[in-house]
Amino acid sequence: MRLTTTTTMMTVSSLTSRANRAISLWPLAFALAMLIVLYIVPLLNGRTPTLFSTYNALQSFAGLSLVALAIGLTMIIGEFDLSVLGTYALGGMIAVKLGGENPLVGALAAMVFCGVFGALQGFVIARFAVNSMAVTLAGYLVTLGATGTIGDDRSQPYANFDLTAFLNLPIAGIFSVRSGIAILVIIVISVLFLATPLGRDMRATGGGRRASRTAGVRVNPIVIGTFAISGTLAALGGTLQSYGVATATSNPGLSPLIFAVTAALLGGIALTGGRGTPVGIAAGALGLSFLSQMFTDMASPQFVSSLVRGSLLVIVTVFATPVIIRYIRRLREGSGRARSVDSRSHR
């Protein structure tokens, strides 16, 4: 009897582990599927796909993936940073205004300022236990207002065309310096998240603050640091975008925020916090960039793109809920037990 119980527990543990791996592999599968769609759908409609489509998709990915990573990291700790849209715009504007002579100075100024702003938001949220939605909504309004003030409420051109050309220089036909920088940043963040206690502590913080403190996790520094990183990443994304198109916009609209939230959810981030990785977020952003480029290549109406992405987001959000995940695991556990009983009956 004890042996049977042990075997059953091992089977359940194995099934749970496989379910977790399936969830974590979903974003990578989504990105690969969207890459295939990018090339297959135009062929079905008599169009010839080229590597330039992948290049364009990665150009969009360069800036927006960092915004997705910014908001996704705050979602992992159970918060939500609405201000990424403002720091994305503000970072680009600061970089253009201060980076005319030295682009690196402009980029560093943008990241430092927005990083400090993010840390201040994190401090308020952690110290006073204020809802992050309210704080970061105010942060969004402040940063957007600051962007309009600095830019005189209009787009500002960037005169360093040599840098713009350099950032957009094709590499191997599909990459560019701009997308390479974004990929490098994502790799660094992913290594820190997966190879150090940082990722474990962030997921623990999102899973439950009281239990995390009991386990020795320094919750407040994690929250403050995550919001500081969020502001820094969003500013870098805005900087790459502004330098890349030689223009800083005072109001980017809601598109970057919608892209970022969608990419984070497609990348396996739970709305309840405590689950997800930077790799998953990047894969979600990559897949979404491929999908958006496919609609661009097909000259599809905007409502078609919105309908497909919205439907996809609803499906993923529903299937990623704890209720559905537990239901799928119960089905797998039941199937596993049935196979185990069947194999014993044949011995």
Mean pLDDT of 183-200: 96
CB 168 within 8 A of CB 178: yes
Confidence class for position 61, pLDDT limits 50, 70, 90: very high
**By mean pLDDT, which of 7-21, 95-109, 195-209, 296-310 is the weakest?**
7-21
Confidence class for position 334, pLDDT limits 50, 70, 90: low
Compute the distance between CA of residue 234 and CA of residue 312 in angstroms, rounded to an integer.
Answer: 25
Mean pLDDT of 268-287: 92
Cβ-proximal residues to 170 (8 Å cutoff; 6+ apart), any chain: 55, 176
Which is more confidently placed, 311 or 82? 82
**149 pLDDT higher than 80:** yes
For 235-262, write each residue's pLDDT tens digit. 999 999 999 999 999 999 999 999 999 9
User: What is the H or E stretch that residue 289 is in?
Assistant: helix 278-297
Mean pLDDT of 194-216: 92
pLDDT attached to residue 47: 81
Cβ-proximal residues to 295 (8 Å cutoff; 6+ apart), any chain: 304, 305, 308
**By mean pLDDT, which of 85-89, 91-95, 236-240, 292-296 is the weakest?**
292-296
Give the CA radius of gyration of the chain. 22
**9 pLDDT higher than 60:** no
Compute the distance between CA of residue 321 and CA of residue 271 in angstroms, rounded to an integer.
Answer: 8
pLDDT attached to residue 338: 58
Which is more confidently placed, 29 or 325? 29
pLDDT attached to residue 63: 94
Confidence class for position 50, pLDDT limits 50, 70, 90: confident
Listing DSSP states for 25-86 in one string gives HHHHHHHHHHHHHHHHHHHHTT----HHHHHHHHHHHHHHHHHHHHHHHHHHTT---TTHHH
Listing DSSP states for 109-136 in one string gives HHHHHHHHHHHHHHHHHHHHT--HHHHH
CB 163 within 8 A of CB 107: no
**200 pLDDT higher than 50:** yes
For 299-318, write each residue's pLDDT tens digit. 888 888 888 888 887 877 77
pLDDT attached to residue 312: 80
pLDDT, averaged across the chain: 88
Instruction: Please tell me whether the overall predicted TM-score, pTM, comes out greater than 0.85 for this model.
Output: yes
What letter would DSSP give residue 286? H
